[in-house]
Structure 1
Amino acid sequence: MTSAPETQPDIHIESRVRSVRAVGERGVLAELAAPHDVLALTDLLNRNPFPGQREVVPAAETVLVTAESPTAMLRIKKELQHLPIPPYRHTSDKLVEIETVYDGEDLQTVAELAGISAEAVVAAHTGQLWTVAFTGFVPGFGYMVGENDVLTVPRRDTPRTNVEAGSVALGGSYTGVYPRRSPGGWRIIGNTSCPMWDSERAEAALVSPGTSVRYKAVRDRVQVTEATQVHRRVDGPGLKVLRSLPLTLIQDLGRPGHAAIGVSRCGALDQSSLRRANRLVGNPSGAAALEIVDGGLTVQAVGDQIVALAGAPARMQINSATGSREAVIANPVALMDGETLVLSPPATGVRSYLAVRGGIAAEEVLGSRSSDTMAGLGPEPVADGQFLPVGPAPRTAVGEAEQQPDFPADDVVELELGPGPRADWFAPDALQPLFNQDWTVTNDSNRIGMRLSGTPLERTRHDELPSEGTICGVIQVPPTGQPVVFLSDHPVTGGYPVIAVVAPKDLDKAAQVAAGGRVRFKPSPLMTESTS
């Protein structure tokens, strides 16, 4: 087996890779000369992958390649630099019309930035053919390029934490439609009821690279609503939820392999704790369990169950008709039919994981039972009165008690960083404030990203960065200079420069830092080598 993808010998081809940059320990970002080169390299790597290659994520002017190990990453990084790329040829006769109400809150701002009237913005948006260059951010989100640059406007300096589903927006030279409520930094000019993503369709995404799009102005406002989950009683053994806080989710190890269509890995934020809880009850390591934020959960056994808790050490109390007893974390626990398990808030840490022997038998979406809060895939948050069926008991034996890691309440959590692909967007001494201060985790942090507050990082470049592929752990820096660490439910592409990447081994630690907690970064050997 060769270490590089095969090429077509009957076509004169050459490398059009402008630069290759490391993205942490397991990512490589190839920068291409033209958008069609992005499509060509993506097609080549999908047809003839490198050994150790995992995913390929095309973006505006780059292709992100993830690797299974640091060794594979270094090999791919070296060979991508001179990889011959055959020309890409793609045609599509698919045309999608999107009816839009142009009443967005940023419409007037866009008009001022473009130097035209609001009416002219609408005319420019509807009067040209748009083409989907790539997809990403969330499932169904297409980055569409137009026939001119009249509506090229900068993104917002500070992204909104929530943008409503159906919002039609502009960012840089692109337009797009938010398929669901999500964070976003684009300028909103209108809204539509057009369903950009529907997992019930044969093709879940309404648009894909190469799709032609026209926008049509309409006068009637359309209400965009998101589906609600109906909880039905299911016969058989399981757990009945008597009380749950809003952030209790069903999680497994996620759905890797779908980044190219805008679906991140997602899955448990603290994967080692999920694996530990599953080992204790004899499940496969990736069985679905409950990820519980700040305790507050009460469940009742329907049929005899074996459960185990790992992660943030919440107090466990079992109540029955005959009395109460305490259970111990990181131990398999028998929960008899009708007994209730009450979890109190943990004294330290944030996320606890409750596994039940047989695993929670939620419906699979793209091969996973995980709830993806960014993409809106998988089960809804666990609600009061919900019944959680469990699968058949595995043949493996129940595990033995394990040692829990410490979750310090007040100490600063240290996270190791690998190199980021856009460190050159920052002042030469920008790495000093990155490493030489304690960063505070803000209240608007979630499974998508950990937002930090501290002395801002100074950028030397203030132009727009075309959207690039991202991985879990990247640290994006918006113009405010306040870093955001992408976590499991992160968008697969982003438009702010990445200065560094949290090492995979420390992502579980990051998952247990509460709002108001502090983190401190240190460089990994790989980052030290790349900056020396």
Structure 2
Amino acid sequence: MTQTTGEALQAGTGRVAGVRPAGTRAVLAELAGTGDVLALQALLQEHPLPGQVDVLAAARTVLVTADSPASARRIAATLPELDLTAPVQRDGGLVFIDTVYDGEDLAEVARLTGLGPDGVVAAHTGQLWTVAFAGFAPGFGYLLGEDTALEVPRRSSPRTAVPAGAVALAGTFSAVYPRRSPGGWQLIGHTTARMWDLGRDQPALAVPGQRIQFRAVRESLDITPESAPAADVAADAPAQEASSGLRIISPGLQSLIQDLGRAGHAGLGVSAAGALDRASLRRANRLVGNAASAAVIETVAGGLQVRAVGDQVLAVTGAPVGLTITAGDDGAAPDRTVPMATPFALLDGETLTLGTPASGFRSYLALRGGVDVPPVLGSRSTDTLAGLGPAPLAAGQALAAGCSAESGVVGHPEIQPDFPDGGVTVLDVVPGPRSDWFDQAALAALTAQEWTVKPQSNRVGMRLDGTPLRRTRDGELASEGTVSGALQVPPEGLPVLFLADHPVTGGYPVIAVVVDAHLDRAGQVPIGGTIRFRWADRDSASDNDAGTPVAPPAAPTVSDTEVSS
């Protein structure tokens, strides 16, 4: 039997059902129904709470990120007091998406629903859809309909590549794939509508809360070729000359442009990204007189070589490396070395080479004035998962110096912290929002053993190897917002530590979250490095202090009815 609109949207109680901490700077509000999710999201967007940085709605939760642990605690106390019964205002009218219903799975969906192909098309076009939340990729909106006539499971075997513009169904949701990507949804058609376009003032065609109407059309034109993401466009562009800046001679293993990230866009499916070691980025910028948020080069494992175009002032911080300057190509002038965490001059035509780190993993090279590349959503950082921002640096590429210098003078040499050096790196954690999916033995096992960073790790997340952690619950968790530092545990039991480029939502339970004060340290652990986690007191944690170490937490006793899973 088809559900009514109210039942399909699960209009809830008008109150936040519960609040779970998600690390030290975020909280996860649990709601009784999708109607409450949309109402809370709209309320927080219209009337932000003090210290609120970002809001991310999901199937049954809303993740609220704060600017500090203190703000997160105040937000957690305020959320249960909010009244969600006020009507949700819809802005922007109705978005029509013309669709050709020729999907590979149309016949299968027709069989599963019993509607037949024509009935599937009629059901899909005959109702309004609401963008409940975003995730998976920028511009990918989870659309809820007015009934559940088209509820179907995901494919048993996901496709390795779904084309851009594919119109799909999964569960009670519909969606349009904004770009070519893997996917397990049932494909029923395609559209030429651009769901994500950085050339628009609002890149997402449909934002959370937006209403969507699909219209059936005949095939008349080929799908417009998918526009390359910003990173790919930058990679294909010819090298441009810069009157003042740097030329990349060798990028080493991987070198990226990074700043402090693009917070505030999680609702569009975009993570904050930014430098993995934020303190080192700030230190490098401070040394050359830049604004703290100026763009720098983040490089992994040494090997970066840059040549000055015009006289430049640089500083290198982060993982300590040897810094060698070569004057010209003829070898007539002897090489010289310069120290880490100290401003120095690189004269026109001179080449700077970064050696292999003695400890740590990521070094940061700041250029006075900052690296001048076009910002995307307010940030010059590279997001490797979403494909936003500049492409990884390539040999021969020119980088212009910008105008981000804040001072007429450079900074004094600074003392750097210790970086992981082959021993065990201790990272403090607090219980995650889904620690109740694990028993006392698993909570103890998380901190009782040493975990090794696997080679498959990257800026999205660190894959860890050790003795698997056993869940006490089977089944899937409804997708919900995630944070940097989250330790998500897939079914095989080996945790994944989310870093700056992590997906904004996830469907695996988070057993613990690395405290914000230790995220920079986590970003410096190399491939093959060893990590030990240690429980910390959430209430004593601050931006500069990981908090007081504590005994392992008792296994949660939250009942099934109190968990939105």
**TM-score (norm. length: structure 2):** 0.82
The C-alpha deviation readout for 1:153-191, integer Å capped at 9, x for no partner, is 25889x999877556665543343443466x67446487
Mapping for residues 56-205 of structure 1, pairs under 5 Å: 56-90=55-89, 92-99=93-100, 102-103=103-104, 116=112, 124=120, 127-129=123-125, 130-146=129-145, 147-148=147-148, 150-153=150-153, 171-180=170-179, 186-187=184-185, 189=187, 194-205=193-204
Equivalent position amino acid for 2:57 in 1: P
2:388 is aligned to 377
Contact 2:300/2:363 (<8 A) preserved: yes
Equivalent position amino acid for 2:148 in 1: N
Contact 2:21/2:28 (<8 A) preserved: yes
Question: Secondary structure of 2:306's partner?
Answer: strand
Contact 2:242/2:309 (<8 A) preserved: no
2:233 is aligned to 228
Contact 1:312/1:512 (<8 A) preserved: yes
1:258 is aligned to 265
The C-alpha deviation readout for 1:433-470, integer Å capped at 9, x for no partner, is 21111122222221111222222222222233222122
Question: Secondary structure of 2:132's partner?
Answer: strand
1:9 is aligned to none
1:474 is aligned to 486
Contact 1:154/1:464 (<8 A) preserved: no
The alpha carbon displacement at 1:381 in A equals: 1.4
Mapping for residues 335-414 of structure 1, pairs under 5 Å: 335-392=346-403, 393-414=405-426
The alpha carbon displacement at 1:149 in A equals: 5.8
Question: CA 1:458–1:133 in 2, change beyond 3 Å: closer, same or farther?
Answer: same
Distance 2:452 2:348 in 1: 44
Question: CA 1:63–1:373 in 2, change beyond 3 Å: closer, same or farther?
Answer: same
Contact 2:113/2:152 (<8 A) preserved: no
1:33 is aligned to 32
Question: CA 1:136–1:270 in 2, change beyond 3 Å: closer, same or farther?
Answer: same
Question: Secondary structure of 2:467's partner?
Answer: coil
Distance 2:108 2:43 in 1: 41
2:558 is aligned to none
2:304 is aligned to 297
Question: Secondary structure of 1:308's partner?
Answer: strand
Mapping for residues 395-474 of structure 1, pairs under 5 Å: 395-474=407-486
The C-alpha deviation readout for 1:189-236, integer Å capped at 9, x for no partner, is 487664321110233112223332538698978864625221342442
Contact 2:57/2:132 (<8 A) preserved: no
Question: CA 1:221–1:288 in 2, change beyond 3 Å: closer, same or farther?
Answer: closer
The alpha carbon displacement at 1:352 in A equals: 0.8
Contact 2:30/2:61 (<8 A) preserved: yes
Contact 1:153/1:172 (<8 A) preserved: yes
Question: Secondary structure of 1:400's partner?
Answer: coil
Contact 1:253/1:271 (<8 A) preserved: yes
Distance 1:314 1:156 in 2: 48
The C-alpha deviation readout for 1:494-531, integer Å capped at 9, x for no partner, is 22222211100111111112222221111111285994
**Could you tell which deviates more after superposition, 202-211 or 329-338?**
202-211
Contact 2:34/2:60 (<8 A) preserved: yes
Question: CA 1:235–1:66 in 2, change beyond 3 Å: closer, same or farther?
Answer: closer
Question: Secondary structure of 1:81's partner?
Answer: helix
The alpha carbon displacement at 1:343 in A equals: 1.8
Contact 2:385/2:503 (<8 A) preserved: yes
Distance 1:449 1:156 in 2: 26
The C-alpha deviation readout for 1:316-370, integer Å capped at 9, x for no partner, is 2111132311222212121000101112332332211000111111112222111
Question: CA 1:171–1:30 in 2, change beyond 3 Å: closer, same or farther?
Answer: same
Gaps of 5+ in 1: 1-12
2:335 equivalent among 324, 328, 335: 324
Question: CA 1:169–1:448 in 2, change beyond 3 Å: closer, same or farther?
Answer: farther
2:251 is aligned to 244
Contact 2:94/2:213 (<8 A) preserved: no
User: Identity across aligned pairs (percent)?
Assistant: 48
Question: Secondary structure of 2:233's partner?
Answer: coil
Distance 2:506 2:490 in 1: 10
Contact 2:55/2:266 (<8 A) preserved: yes
Equivalent position amino acid for 2:62 in 1: V
Question: CA 1:163–1:511 in 2, change beyond 3 Å: closer, same or farther?
Answer: farther
Gaps of 5+ in 2: 1-11, 540-549, 555-565
Equivalent position amino acid for 1:239 in 2: L
Distance 2:552 2:45 in 1: 28
Question: Secondary structure of 1:54's partner?
Answer: strand
Distance 1:509 1:71 in 2: 22
Distance 2:515 2:82 in 1: 28
The C-alpha deviation readout for 1:68-125, integer Å capped at 9, x for no partner, is 222222222123223222333345422213447634xxx69x959x984999799747
Contact 2:32/2:60 (<8 A) preserved: yes
The C-alpha deviation readout for 1:219-264, integer Å capped at 9, x for no partner, is 9788646252213424421001122146311111111222222222
1:5 is aligned to none
Question: Secondary structure of 1:94's partner?
Answer: strand
1:487 is aligned to 499
**Could you tell which deviates more after superposition, 86-95 or 426-435?**
86-95
Distance 1:300 1:126 in 2: 62
Contact 1:330/1:403 (<8 A) preserved: yes
Question: Secondary structure of 1:429's partner?
Answer: helix
Distance 1:354 1:96 in 2: 45
Aligned residues: 513
1:513 is aligned to 525
Equivalent position amino acid for 2:396 in 1: G
2:54 is aligned to 55
Contact 1:100/1:215 (<8 A) preserved: no
